[in-house]
Chains A and B, each alone.
Chain A
Amino acid sequence: MCMRWTIPFALLLCSVLAHADQASVPDTLQQRIAACTTCHGVHGEGSSGSGFFPRLAGKPAGYLALQIQNFQRGVRKYAPMEYTVRLLTPEYMHEIAAYFAAQQVPYERKPVPALAPSMLQRGEQLVTAGDPARQVPPCQACHGKQLTGTEPSVPGLVGLPYDYISSQLGSWRTGTRASAAPDCMAQIANRLAPADITAVSAWLANQEVPADTHPQPAGSITPPLRCGVLQAQGDGA
């Protein structure tokens, strides 16, 4: 796939395609992005039933744009997503990211495996206090006190399905998901024990979603690790 380099030759003149019967098709972004909403929901609510297609609604726009870009660059790997977004321009990508970031829809509870109380306790410990022995900081340090994320590029963790969280942590360990270097999430995922992934994913997926799901304001966190994505402030471009 080619990298898109800007080639503004002489200004291109665009004639309009003949429009015979366009009135029947709504001129909205929602209508244009059926390729996205089929799996992620018209309002980015995620797929109902199993939790494989993640919720996009309300996630920081910078984070969403960065994920589309990571799929384009092959840093984040999932073939259907890589194919779908491969030709999006930065402008269209940002417009689509802003659409899903602005959606406010209720969360739907997804199935969580039944785990022993000690496992859930371990999950809670990792989220709220981390594990200094493993050099794992608490999730809350970056993803926010309420775990609703931090503007502009740290996603919320509440309201996500168990399947999705655990598969993302696994992807970071196997290198099928990555972010700008230094990739702090890859470091953290690799410091976790395999059972920790189950524990933290299940605890997070069990949490009630707070009334206010907005991400924390930008600049409200001090990252415990050096994170490329936070230094770049995740403008997704």
Chain B
Amino acid sequence: MKPLRWLWIPIVLLVIVLAGGWWLSQRHSPATASQEDPAIAAMLKDPGVIAKGRYLATAGDCGSCHTARAGHAYAGGRMLPTPFGNIPAPNITPDTQTGIGNWNFNDFWRALHDGIGRSGEPLYPAFSYTSFTNVTRDDAIAIFAYLRSLPPVHEANAALELRFPYNVRSTLAAWRAVYFKAGVYQPNASQSASWNRGAYLVQGLGHCNECHAARGAWGGLEARATLSGGQIPEQDWYAPDLSTKTNGGLQGWGRQDIIDVLKKGQSLKSAAVGPMADVVASSTQYLRDDDLQAIADYLLSLPARATPAPMPASFDSQSLIDRGNAVYTERCANCHGKDGAGVPGVYPPLDGNASVVEPTGINATRVVLLGGFPPVTVCNPRPYSMPPYAQQLSDADVAAVVTYIRHAWSNHASAVQERDVATYRHTPID
């Protein structure tokens, strides 16, 4: 990354000159309230539209970023960590000074659909407009109506914490040219209504790709890598491949397995861990059954990607596996079973679990270290939990047991080394 950063500077200077003028020409004064189109103004007051917007805002998990820990809902303040620095999520309550109280729907639409702020400034794509551009105008009106119905909270937005040159907003013009194309979701006529609804939720409002796809060097999503799985920058979790691939994807999953993970937090195949546990708790558990089925229909239609052969271990992993087998028998088999099958509805299986065999080994390593609860949901209000082993197992023992479970039964994933465990030993908080 280091040499690349230096290469950026001449590009940045050029882009500043070109985009700066364009940007200034696009600005308009944000100080006063914008007039609202009367037809839209009427919709914004409609309780039915507001209720729909509340559901859609939940489906989009807007509150999760736009709410600080222990803060007022949607009043912003949460810092989103990126490899380029921290970006604060702004206040989107209708406060006129610090929120979106002076916005009209067109301002909102430009942000959501085009990634352009109210003053004409390009927005940082930590706000996932690369996905939200798929959202229809009617749905956007409903979400805006809901946000406008919230109690205004006076909470000033925090300052950006980006490093140079990323803190120069006009550099985004180059980024947008490479990674962003505006456009509402276009239904695929050869697919069912449910499939199209699922694709719309997954690609658009649900912004699943923002975690479940690999990112390029500049933090953009590779267009061909849709839902192929990816490491979440800065958070050190891996969002698995959502295609029906074996060893790391949803191979063998049925419709109900997908619905159960999203609604209850765990299914016969897996349990949501890490950031996905938060997504289930604050968003997907509240989705209607028809929407969950639509998501399942869409995901199960994704063709299996070829599984790359696991990298041959650069060291003798057999002794690691033997040691891991011993740790597993002593610490893990009691709940997850000698056969790695888990206990249905109680303890997730490890055999064939996408989070266990994802390419990096991060998820299994961190779950062994952290333990904890799967999502506590309306449908699973008192889940069984797992002990954290950070205090009890050495890095070598964690590496051994994780290597073992990634290799046992039908699993064929690469070994995890002691130094990897040391890297991931710290506990995430936010």
What residues of chain A have their CB less than 8 Å away from a CB belonging to chain B?
1-5, 7, 9-10, 12-14, 16-22, 24-25, 29, 31-39, 72-75, 79-80, 82-84, 86-89, 91-92, 95
Contact = CB atoms under 8 A, between A and B. Distances in A.
Interface string B329-345: 00000010000000111
Contact of A17 (B268, B382, B385, B388): B268
B9 interface: no
19 contacts: A1-B429, A1-B430, A3-B68, A3-B70, A14-B380, A17-B268, A17-B345, A19-B344, A22-B343, A35-B385, A38-B371, A73-B69, A79-B426, A83-B372, A84-B372, A84-B373, A87-B281, A87-B373, A92-B381
Contact of A88 (B58, B68, B335, B373): B373
A4 B430 CA distance: 14
A24 B285 CA distance: 28
B264 interface: yes
Nearest to A95: B382
A89 B383 CA distance: 11
B354 to A, nearest CB: 18
A37 B385 CA distance: 10
A35 B264 CA distance: 19
Given A17-B344, A24-B343, A75-B70, A38 B379 contact: no
A84 to B, nearest CB: 5
Given A2-B281, A88-B373, 16 more contacts: A1-B278, A9-B55, A12-B285, A14-B263, A17-B345, A18-B268, A19-B344, A20-B343, A33-B385, A35-B386, A74-B70, A80-B390, A84-B370, A84-B385, A84-B388, A95-B382
B344 A35 contact: no
B302 to A, nearest CB: 24
Identify the 9 closest CB pairs spanning chains A and B, nearest first.
Answer: A17-B345, A14-B379, A35-B385, A38-B387, A73-B70, A79-B427, A2-B64, A2-B282, A20-B344
Interface residues of B, number: 56
Interface of B: 55, 58, 63-64, 67-73, 260, 263-264, 266-268, 277-278, 281-282, 285-286, 288-289, 335, 343-347, 370-373, 375-376, 378-388, 390-392, 426-430
A32 B429 contact: no
Instruction: Give the one of B260, B376, B428 with max A CB within 10 A.
Output: B376
A72 B72 CA distance: 14
A84 B67 CA distance: 20
A168 B257 CA distance: 44
Contacts of A73: 69-70
A25 to B, nearest CB: 5
Contacts of A82: 427, 429
A31 B384 contact: yes
Contacts of B378: 12, 14
User: Chain A: interface secondary structure?
Assistant: loop
A91 B157 CA distance: 33
A19 B373 CA distance: 19
A22 B341 CA distance: 13
B70 to A, nearest CB: 4
A22 B260 CA distance: 18
B385 A34 contact: yes
Given A17-B264, A32-B384, A35-B386, A5 B373 contact: no
A22 B73 contact: no
A7 B64 CA distance: 13
Nearest to A12: B378
Nearest to A33: B385
Contact of B382 (A5, A20, A32, A87): A32
A14 to B, nearest CB: 4
Contacts of A20: 343-344
Nearest to A18: B344
A75 B388 CA distance: 22
A38 B372 CA distance: 11
Contact of A32 (B58, B260, B383): B383
A14 B262 CA distance: 12
Nearest to B265: A87
B342 to A, nearest CB: 10
A32 B286 CA distance: 24
B25 to A, nearest CB: 38
B278 A3 contact: no
A87 B58 CA distance: 17
A39 B38 CA distance: 61
Nearest to B267: A17
A106 B9 CA distance: 67
A149 B132 CA distance: 53
A35 B388 contact: yes
Contact of B347 (A5, A19, A25): A25
Instruction: Give the one of B64, B277, B388, B390 with max A CB within 10 A.
Output: B388
A87 B277 contact: yes
A114 to B, nearest CB: 27
